[in-house]
């Protein structure tokens, strides 16, 4: 990989190339990396913006929604795109920010049928989805495909993030065995959300993606980072691998993606003590 | 093998960004001669080279307003 940078690239990425841990070598790595962002909402907005700015070579954006005016309080990449599919709007945003990035806009839902095949084509996945079935679906598909991903969730003023590196650390199911029953955790729509919160958590997810791709620093693998914007405090919980985890344990039960595995709502998830923060967006 | 880099007309931080990119293509122990004409860059590049573990062998003015830095590449990070 001795691709020559153009003068524009040298200028665009100068502040990043100057970082001793990155350099030209790291920048080339980013330019040849592929990241999939699932959900172009609040978390996705900041994750997409920073990843595109950093020069990720190929970004996949999957979202089946269209931009509504109530999104714009926090979904900052969709200005001027009311009514447009969010994936398409995100692609337009990226094009105006950084033309080095190839964007694959998927105006569809991530499902049990397409998840593994879509995820397979990327080096890292950012979970910016807003519901439990999709969180579990992404987890299972990534574990089965051995793809690292960043998980983020927000509600009101609280959010959390963790990074899953299959075969190395715990997965989302190790942390949260099962989704809470419908209605227990209110959605963003019912509960409200502090607009900058997804900006902060989504930025953390982008940072995790970049560090993972560059192979630098320490990711949130094995740690659950909790954040409260009202107190402006961070708290970290240790996340341990569950040997009996149904998807990444010693004797995994889930060996393929089945819709029912992702929508198991018959028990409340186990939330680490002192870290009962927002779940779902 | 001795390499050369003409950075006349370049200013910070691109002077060091380009120096860094050039050094990345070289092997430890190889020498690089850099020409600069921005006084601020002369100071900054020298400091940055030392900070990143390279061996600054020589720094001198070679003509009015033009400086030459000779550096030996240190170990890769």
Residue pLDDT, tens place only, A71-81: 999 999 999 99
Residues of B known to be catalytic: 12
CB-based contact, A17 to chain B, within 8 Å: yes
pLDDT reading at A278 higher than 60: no
Q: What is the 3-state secondary structure (H, E, C) of A104-125?
A: EEECCCCCCCCHHHHHHCCCEE
B24 chain-A contacts, CB cut-off 8 A: 23-25
pLDDT reading at A2 higher than 70: no
pLDDT reading at A271 higher than 80: no
The model's pLDDT over B24-47, given as tens digits with 9 standing for 90+, comes to: 999 999 999 999 999 999 999 999
CB-based contact, B3 to chain A, within 8 Å: no
Number of inter-chain CB pairs under 8 A, A vs B: 29
The whole model's pTM is what? 0.91
CA A273-A238-A158 angle, 5° bins: 60
pLDDT band at A180 (very low <50, low <70, confident <90, very high): confident
A16 chain-B contacts, CB cut-off 8 A: none
Quote the mean pLDDT of chain A.
91
Mean pLDDT for the stretch of residues A116-136: 96
Please give the share of chain B, as a percent, with pLDDT higher than 90: 95
CB-based contact, B11 to chain A, within 8 Å: no
d(C-alpha A154, C-alpha A170), whole Å? 20
Task: Answer yes or no: are the C-beta atoms of A272 and A226 closer than 8 Å.
Answer: no
Residue-level pLDDT at A274: 37
Nearest to B25 among A2, A11, A14 (CB): A2
The model's pLDDT over A54-104, given as tens digits with 9 standing for 90+, comes to: 999 999 999 999 999 999 999 999 999 999 999 999 999 999 999 999 999
Q: Do A14 and B14 touch (CB under 8 A)?
A: yes
The highest-level CATH class for domain B2-72 is: alpha beta
d(C-alpha A149, C-alpha A123), whole Å? 9
pLDDT band at A185 (very low <50, low <70, confident <90, very high): confident
- Does the predicted interface ipTM exceed a cut of 0.90? no
Mean pLDDT for the stretch of residues A230-243: 96
Residue-level pLDDT at A173: 96
A4 chain-B contacts, CB cut-off 8 A: none
pLDDT reading at B17 higher than 90: yes
Residue-level pLDDT at B2: 84
**Residue ranges of domains in chain B:** 2-72
pLDDT reading at A187 higher than 80: no
pLDDT reading at A229 higher than 70: yes
Q: What is the 3-state secondary structure (H, E, C) of chain A?
A: CCCCCCHHHHHHCHHHHCCCCCHHHHHHHHHCCEEEEECCCHHHHHHHHHHHHHCCCEEEEECCCECCHHHCCCCHHHCCCCCCEHHHHHHHHHHHHCCCCEEEEECCCCCCCCHHHHHHCCCEEEECCCCHHHHHHHHHHHHHHCCEEEEEEEEECEEEEEEECCCCCCCHHHHCCCCCCCCCCCCHHHHCECCHHHHHHHHHHHHHHHHHHHCCCCCCECEEEEEECCCCEEEEEECCCCCCCCCCCCCCCCCCCCHHHHCCCCCCCCCCCCCCCCCCC
Q: Do A5 and B21 touch (CB under 8 A)?
A: yes
- Assign a CATH topology to domain A16-262: Rossmann fold (3.40.50)
Residue-level pLDDT at A104: 98
Q: Do A24 and B14 touch (CB under 8 A)?
A: no
Mean pLDDT for the stretch of residues A137-151: 97
pLDDT band at A188 (very low <50, low <70, confident <90, very high): low
């Amino acid at each position: 990989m001795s691709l020559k940078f153009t003068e524009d690239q040298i200028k665009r990425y100068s502040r990043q190339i100057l970082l001793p841990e990155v350099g030209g070598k790291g920048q080339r790595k980013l330019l040849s990396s592929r990241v999939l962002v699932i959900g172009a909402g609040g978390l996705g907005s900041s994750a997409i913006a920073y990843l595109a700015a950093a020069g990720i070579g190929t970004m996949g954006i999957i979202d089946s929604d269209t931009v509504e005016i109530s999104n714009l309080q926090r979904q900052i990449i969709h200005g001027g795109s009311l009514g447009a599919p969010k994936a398409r709007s995100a692609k337009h945003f990226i094009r105006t920010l950084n033309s080095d990035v190839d964007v694959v806009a998927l105006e569809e839902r991530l499902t049990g049928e397409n998840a593994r095949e879509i995820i397979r084509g990327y080096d890292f996945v950012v979970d910016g989805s807003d519901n439990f079935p999709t969180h579990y679906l992404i987890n299972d598909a990534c574990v089965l495909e051995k793809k690292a991903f960043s998980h983020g969730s927000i509600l009101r003023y609280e959010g959390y993030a963790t990074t899953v590196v299959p075969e190395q650390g715990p997965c989302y199911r190790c942390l949260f065995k099962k989704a809470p029953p419908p209605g227990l955790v209110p959605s963003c729509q019912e509960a409200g959300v502090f607009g900058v919160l997804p900006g902060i958590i989504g930025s953390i997810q982008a940072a995790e993606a970049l560090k993972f791709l560059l192979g630098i620093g320490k990711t949130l693998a094995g740690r659950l980072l909790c954040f409260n914007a009202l107190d402006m405090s961070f708290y970290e919980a240790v996340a341990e691998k569950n040997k009996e985890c149904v998807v990444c344990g010693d004797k995994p039960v889930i060996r393929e993606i089945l819709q029912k595995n992702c929508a198991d709502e018959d028990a409340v998830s186990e939330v680490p003590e002192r870290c009962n923060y927002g779940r779902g967006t | 093998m001795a390499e050369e880099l003409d950075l006349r007309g370049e200013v910070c931080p691109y002077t060091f960004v380009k120096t860094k990119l050039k050094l990345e293509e070289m092997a430890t122990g190889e020498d690089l001669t850099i020409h600069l004409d921005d006084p601020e860059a002369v100071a900054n590049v020298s400091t940055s080279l030392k900070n990143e573990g390279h061996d600054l062998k020589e720094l001198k003015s070679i003509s009015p307003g033009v400086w030459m830095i000779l550096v030996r590449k240190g170990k890769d990070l």
